[in-house]
């Protein structure tokens, strides 16, 4: 073989001369692929943030007409001039005013949220005072709870159960990795009601504002300065917060004449609950709903597993009261596991069927295994690209892998078949691999470029469709590029070492042998007889 042949063989010729190095590189790629796969987040769909900003104002009890005039119109005027906003929609109801800002797809929603927050700060100057400040947030599908529970107890009333879930149970989950929030809903919130006797207050010369001012002054904690000691310094505080209903009942009120009475003498104090606005039931028993939300980039399956592990730990530590009944009513990880299992099964089945078809045509197990090895290596390379690109393992990316399995074997079959043809002509290992690579290098690159040219334009599709299918196209493109590299490196390095010259069952029959030509060495003829 001449030096010119090695030069014209390009990367394939170099791989044939260095089979051990190429094999080691392939093994290193497999290891990197496993590491990348372990770090990939698992989700049902690609992470999509809708380009919408929502501003909401809550003012309970205010009629819808008043809310529209005092809040909705002001918010619309101020938020409409937000940069790149393409539409403004509002909805007004009793005690609720909501304004939606829409932006074009591809807009950085964090920048849009910052601009809209600035406009909202300007609009607050024209808005009346409300019990709660206006809320502004972006629409994010990741805010959907990943798992929901209903907590019930046959022994506790709704107020006591809600207090336990709010103050104790939910706090065990907010510190778990990947958990963004643990929201509690349903049940009855404890509420202390003070019902003043209007006639009694008027008779004593007091007004409602006097009562409100006394409640505010009596429920405070304030610093009391520092006490200097000879060897240390102590900080003090004035603790005046109410700790029980009895403390509230004994709140002193000063009359205009200087006399002091207690709050319970002019008002009725009731330890009750707020009005029930959300009702939850578990098997007919009142319950409390606990929703666990994950962080945007967290692994849904890992978060759900962490939550369930924490529940097992709470039971093992005896921290779950025996009267508490807990049932999972929604679990997003179930759908994700089923979808990923089906997609992975489709990809593996496609790979196995592709190898069977190749075996039928080639009729040789070793050559079939060479093509079969290209499939997992190309998939591992794709996992590395997915990790670098920040993609998640979802139905779109797994669908891209399943579609890419058929495209992966195209280049390898072309290279392997041409090397096999040159071996049948009686050429040696290096000559057969180099000449075969020289003939098909340009064809393999051209066919790969054609496939990429067919799928890459889909990356430039805008809107929601582009966001949904971008990861699918990225995965297919990465698999095609990986197949090109493998066809020019690993396949010729391994195929040049296989000397079996039998044909497949589809062409020539399973037992047909091709006898060596006059220039074929005796060793090749013996190998052909051995593996035919």
**Any idea which of 1-15, 316-330, 366-380 has the lowest mean pLDDT?**
1-15
- Structure tokens that stand for 30 in this block: 């497999």
Q: What's the pLDDT tens digit per position in 86-118?
A: 888 888 888 888 888 888 877 778 888 888 888
d(CA 266, CA 243): 21
Q: What's the pLDDT tens digit per position in 142-166?
A: 678 889 998 888 888 888 888 888 8
Segment 61-79 shows an average pLDDT of 85
Res 81: pLDDT: 84
Segment 285-291 shows an average pLDDT of 84
CATH fold of 191-216+241-273, please?
Answer: 3.30.2090
Res 511: pLDDT: 38
The answer, yes or no, to whether residue 499 has pLDDT greater than 80, is: no
pLDDT band for 517, please (50, 70, 90 cuts): very low
Report which of 341, 365, 248, 299 is spatially closest to residue 41, judged by C-alpha positions: 299
Res 223: pLDDT: 75
Helix (H) or strand (E) holding 211, with range, is helix 208-218
| DSSP code for 6 | H
pLDDT band for 500, please (50, 70, 90 cuts): low
Report which of 50, 208, 216 is spatially closest to residue 139, judged by C-alpha positions: 50
CATH 3.40.50.720 assigned to domain 3-46+336-498? The reply is: no
Q: How far is CA 325 from the centre of its chain?
A: 30
Helix (H) or strand (E) holding 505, with range, is none
The residue behind tokens 């409409």 is 80
The answer, yes or no, to whether residue 267 has pLDDT greater than 60, is: yes
Other CB atoms within 10 Å distance of the CB of residue 448: 20
The answer, yes or no, to whether residue 303 has pLDDT greater than 50, is: yes
Report which of 289, 470, 504, 509 is spatially closest to residue 392, judged by C-alpha positions: 470
d(CA 157, CA 161): 6
Q: Euclidean distance between the first and final Cα of the chain, in Å? A: 28
d(CA 311, CA 330): 16
The answer, yes or no, to whether residue 527 has pLDDT greater than 70, is: no
d(CA 442, CA 433): 15
Report which of 392, 385, 328 is spatially closest to residue 44, judged by C-alpha positions: 392
d(CA 10, CA 7): 6
Phi, psi of 48 (to 5 degrees): -125, 130
**Any idea which of 5-19, 24-38, 130-144 has the lowest mean pLDDT?**
5-19
52-139 CATH pick, 3.30.70.1430, 3.30.70.20, 1.20.1090.10, 2.60.40.10: 3.30.70.1430
The answer, yes or no, to whether residue 209 has pLDDT greater than 70, is: yes
The answer, yes or no, to whether residue 513 has pLDDT greater than 60, is: no
pLDDT band for 502, please (50, 70, 90 cuts): low
d(CA 340, CA 382): 17
- Structure tokens that stand for 179 in this block: 């958990």
Segment 109-136 shows an average pLDDT of 84
| DSSP code for 97 | E
pLDDT band for 313, please (50, 70, 90 cuts): very high
Segment 409-423 shows an average pLDDT of 80
Other CB atoms within 10 Å distance of the CB of residue 513: 16
Q: If DSSP codes are grouped into helix, strand and coil, which group holds residue 182?
A: strand
The answer, yes or no, to whether residue 501 has pLDDT greater than 70, is: no
Mean per-residue pLDDT of the chain = 79
d(CA 48, CA 299): 15
Share of the chain above pLDDT 70, in %: 91
- Count of H helices and E strands in the chain? 17, 15
Report which of 155, 172, 181 is spatially closest to residue 311, judged by C-alpha positions: 172
The answer, yes or no, to whether residue 2 has pLDDT greater than 60, is: no
Segment 79-86 long-range contacts (CB within 8 Å, at least 24 positions apart): 79/55, 79/116, 79/119, 79/120, 79/123, 81/119, 82/53, 82/112, 82/115, 82/116, 82/119, 83/112, 83/115, 84/112, 85/112, 85/116
Domains 3-46+336-498 and 52-139 share a fold: no
Where do the domains of the chain lie?
A: 3-46+336-498, 52-139, 191-216+241-273
- Structure tokens that stand for 322 in this block: 């025996």
d(CA 493, CA 25): 12
Phi, psi of 237 (to 5 degrees): -150, 155
Q: How far is CA 186 from the centre of its chain?
A: 27
Res 308: pLDDT: 92
Segment 229-253 shows an average pLDDT of 78
Share of the chain above pLDDT 90, in %: 2
pLDDT band for 130, please (50, 70, 90 cuts): confident
Segment 69-86 shows an average pLDDT of 85
């Amino acid at each position: 073989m001449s030096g010119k042949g090695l030069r014209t063989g390009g990367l394939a010729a170099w791989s044939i001369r260095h089979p051990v190095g190429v094999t080691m590189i392939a093994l290193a790629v497999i290891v990197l692929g496993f590491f990348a796969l372990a770090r990939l987040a698992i989700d049902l769909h690609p992470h999509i943030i809708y380009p919408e900003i929502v501003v909401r104002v809550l003012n309970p009890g205010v009629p819808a007409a008043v809310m529209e005039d005092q809040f909705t119109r002001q918010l619309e005027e101020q938020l409409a001039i937000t940069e790149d906003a393409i539409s403004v929609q509002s909805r007004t109801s009793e005690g609720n005013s909501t304004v939606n800002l829409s932006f074009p797809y591809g807009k950085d929603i964090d920048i849009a949220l910052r601009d809209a927050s600035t406009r909202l700060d300007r609009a607050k100057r024209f808005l009346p005072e409300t019990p709660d400040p206006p809320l502004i947030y972006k629409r994010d599908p990741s805010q959907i709870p990943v798992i929901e529970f209903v907590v019930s107890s046959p022994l506790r009333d709704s107020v006591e159960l809600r207090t336990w879930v709010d103050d104790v149970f939910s706090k065990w989950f907010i510190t778990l990795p990947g958990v963004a929030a643990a929201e509690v809903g349903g049940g009855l919130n404890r509420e202390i009601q003070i019902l003043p006797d209007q006639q009694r207050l008027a008779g004593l010369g007091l007004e409602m504002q006097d009562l409100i001012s006394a409640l505010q002054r009596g429920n405070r904690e304030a610093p009391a300065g520092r006490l200097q000691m000879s060897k240390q310094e102590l900080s003090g505080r004035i603790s005046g917060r109410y700790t029980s209903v009895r403390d509230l009942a004994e709140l002193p009120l000063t009359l205009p004449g200087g006399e002091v009475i207690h709050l319970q003498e002019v008002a009725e104090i009731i330890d009750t609950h707020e009005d029930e606005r959300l009702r939850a039931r578990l098997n007919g028993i009142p319950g409390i709903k606990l929703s666990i939300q994950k962080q945007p980039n967290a692994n849904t399956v890992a978060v759900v597993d962490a939550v369930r592990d924490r529940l097992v730990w709470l039971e093992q530590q005896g921290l779950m009261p025996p009267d508490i009944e807990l049932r999972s009513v929604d679990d997003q990880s179930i759908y994700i596991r089923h979808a990923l299992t089906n997609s992975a099964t489709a990809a593996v089945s496609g790979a196995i069927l592709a190898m069977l078809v190749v075996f039928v045509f080639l009729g040789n197990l070793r050559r079939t295994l060479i093509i079969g090895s290209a499939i997992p290596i190309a998939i591992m390379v794709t996992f590395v690209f997915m990790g670098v690109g920040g993609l998640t393992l979802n139905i779109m990316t797994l669908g891209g892998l399943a579609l890419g399995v058929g495209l992966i074997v195209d280049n390898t079959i072309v290279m392997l078949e041409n090397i096999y043809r040159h071996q049948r002509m009686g050429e040696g290992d290096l000559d057969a691999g180099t000449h075969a690579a020289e003939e098909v290098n340009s064809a393999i690159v051209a066919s790969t470029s054609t496939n990429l040219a067919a799928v890459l334009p889909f990356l430039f599709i805008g809107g929601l469709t582009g966001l949904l299918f971008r990861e699918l196209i990225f995965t297919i493109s990465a698999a095609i590029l990986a197949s090109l590299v493998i066809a020019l490196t690993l396949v010729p390095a391994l195929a040049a070492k296989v000397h079996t010259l039998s044909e497949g069952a589809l062409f020539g029959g399973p037992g047909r042998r091709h006898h060596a030509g006059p220039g074929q060495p005796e060793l090749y003829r013996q190998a052909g007889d051995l593996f035919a």
